[in-house]
Amino acid sequence: MSVTPAQYDMIRSPIITEKSTLASEHGAVVFEVAMDATKPEIKKAVEALFNVKVKAVNTTVTKGKVKKFRGKTGTRRDVKKAYVTLVEGNTIDVTTGL
């Protein structure tokens, strides 16, 4: 399977938090993805980039919070996360390259 530049742009970065670490114990990996990425596109991109077999993809969109900085109101950006569940026996080590 060949990797296209669009697949590199779709998968932005792995998310390493307490919640994502708990998900990794059940064979899931969490990625920040592009807002216009669909579940089938995410599945193809992860399979091509990491040479693994994907079982399921769940996505969530976190709306940006309104925050104040030096008295001015601003909004953080919206973030789309993909919870990628891998088939038994497949793993992705997201700690490499950090």
Report the distance separating Cα 21 and Cα 29, nearest Å: 8
Task: For residue 97, tell me if it sits in a domain.
Answer: no
Task: For residue 15, tell me if it sits in a domain.
Answer: yes
When divided into structural domains, the chain yields a total of 1
| Domain residue limits at 33 | 5-86
> What confidence score (pLDDT) does residue 96 get?
67
Domain holding 32: CATH number?
Answer: 3.30.70.330
Q: Residues in the chain with pLDDT < 70? A: 1, 96-98
Structure tokens, 19: 């919640």
Task: For residue 91, tell me if it sits in a domain.
Answer: no
> What confidence score (pLDDT) does residue 47 get?
92
Task: For residue 94, tell me if it sits in a domain.
Answer: no
How many CB atoms sit inside 10 A of residue 45's CB?
25
